[in-house]
Amino acid sequence: MSSFLFGFAAALLLTIGARDQLLVARLSQHLGAAILLAGLLAAVFTAGLMALAGDTIAQLLPVAARQMLVAIALLVAAAELFWPTREKRPKEPTRSPFAAFVVLMARQWGDAARFLLFALAAATALPEYVALGGAAGAALALAGGWALGDQLEALPLRGFRLAMGAIVLIGGLLLGLGARGLI
């Protein structure tokens, strides 16, 4: 159960202000519920794939290397959180839910939330619960973005993402130093 909760919390918190949530919010007026459905399907698919990847790779590694893999995934997630999201608003949406699904999958594939799901799946024995929790957390964050629409960007998203980045960075550093036996 804790694997589910960690996946849920990680995906929920790290999807707030992310590129996929912003896209869902920006297209919510033009595409309605179709963009939310595309986002939810993409969230389920990418959470499952990243959890599967984390578990598969972790099974090939000894314990110390597995811990270092988790630390590296956390550091990559922190870097993505620190990276500013300066995207232009789509000027003329294609009004295609499938195109939105493809774009959302591409955005989610390398975002901080999915790297954290990868790390959690590599660190735990229950990657399917990490995937379910991650999909549910991301779905909730995307639904929040869809519901807020244009009002989402009025929130202090940059500061929140920087705070989340600092927390993930500290966790990654501590795990990495622990894996090396330095702390």
Instruction: Write down the pTM of the prediction.
Output: 0.88
Over the stretch 125-182, which tens digit does the pLDDT of each residue have? 789 999 999 999 999 999 999 999 989 888 999 999 999 999 989 998 998 888 777 8
* Beta strands in 46-143, from DSSP E residues, in sequence order: none
Measured distance CA(142)–CA(24) in Å, rounded = 7
Single out the residue of 127, 101, 104 nearest to residue 116, CA to CA: 127
Measured distance CA(87)–CA(90) in Å, rounded = 9
| Chain mean position to CA 105 | 11
Query: pLDDT > 90: what percent of the chain?
Result: 39
At residue 1 the predicted structure's pLDDT band, cuts being 50, 70 and 90, is: low
- Is residue 14 within 8 Å of residue 108, measured between CB atoms? no
Assess whether pLDDT exceeds 90 at residue 2: no
Assess whether pLDDT exceeds 80 at residue 93: no
Assess whether pLDDT exceeds 70 at residue 90: no
At residue 120 the predicted structure's pLDDT band, cuts being 50, 70 and 90, is: confident
Assess whether pLDDT exceeds 70 at residue 42: yes
| pLDDT of the residue at 92 | 54
